[in-house]
Structure 1
Amino acid sequence: MLLMASLTAFQRLKRKVFANPEDTMVSGAKVALDDPYVERIRRAHYNDIENILLFISIGFLYSLTKPKPVIAVNLFRIFTIARFLHTVVYTIVIIRQPARALCWMTGYTITIFMAIWCIKSNLAP
């Protein structure tokens, strides 16, 4: 997620498109909120915030259920790889769908699995 903020700033500088008038100190810069390249990165960043923060929260609760370490580690690894690939195919090497959707669905499925596991673990006698 930190990389996304830097990537947004880089794209704004490269395209000389900023959100606030005081940021237009660069020669030829303008205020615009509709640059397709900047907005694509912002959408990817927002998607990361929506999904990664939820995963971290559910992952913490999941770890409290004392799952098998090999399963937990692999779920965390697969989620991380899927989110990394999602960011890459969304912002850097834009690939047609369903590449991005598959990456997103992988992470989302893992988060749902861990949430269900948490609920099931707390309902069991």
Structure 2
Amino acid sequence: MADLMENEVFKAFTTYAAIVILKMMLMGPLTGYYRMTRGAFSNEEDVSRKSAEDKKKLLRTHPEVERVRRSHQNDLENIVPFVVIGLLYALTAPELSAALLHFRIFAGARIFHTVAYVGALPQPSRGLSWILGMLVTFSMAYRVLSTVLLL
């Protein structure tokens, strides 16, 4: 493991993987913040101490809460594959410059995707950032498969 941590590509991967995982983890508290400030809860136990009339008002969906929640769901669908494929990619010994390009583009695309989703920026900003992140993951997957299949 110590040898692996001396590898510049692996260090870059762990750095950018940690960044996007932390970003994804922060979406949970952000969803909770939006639920609290917008007064929109999805579970009965979240409003159990309220009156019956208050419960009716609070057990509802809110567009801004749903926007943050969907952004979090999108992170789960994209960051988990990036981490798995990125680890395999890092193990194929790519050039550091190519690896950094992949990792930085993905991290930037995911951060921008969240800003575009939560901030309701006009399309195609969110769509393009999603596509960019997916292309990076597919590019790394191609490198992994082409390396493994050529052995």
Scaled by the length of structure 2, what TM-score is found?
0.77
Q: Which runs of 5+ in 2 are unaligned?
A: 1-23
- The residue correspondences of 1:71-90 to structure 2 (distance < 5 A) are 71-90=98-117
- Partners of 2:50 and 2:108 in 1: how far apart? 36
Partner of 1:5: 28
Q: Which has the higher contact order (CA 8 A, sep 6+)?
A: 2
Moved over 3 A (4+): 25-29
- Partners of 1:63 and 1:2 in 2: how far apart? 23
Q: CA RMSD in A?
A: 1.5
- The residue correspondences of 1:9-20 to structure 2 (distance < 5 A) are 9-20=32-43
From 46, 52, 74, the counterpart of 2:79: 52
Partner of 1:96: 122
CA contact (8 A) 1:21 1:31 kept: yes
Q: Which runs of 5+ in 1 are unaligned?
A: none
CA shift in 2, pair 1:103/1:26, >3 Å: farther
Partner of 2:59: 31
The residue type paired with residue 49 of structure 1 is L
CA contact (8 A) 1:16 1:26 kept: no
- C-alpha distance after superposition, 1:17-64 (max 9, x if no partner): 1111221247956112x3211111111100000000000000000011
Residue 18 of structure 1 aligns to a residue whose secondary structure is: coil
Partner of 1:109: 135
Larger helix percent? 2
Larger radius of gyration: 2
Residue 8 of structure 1 aligns to a residue whose secondary structure is: helix
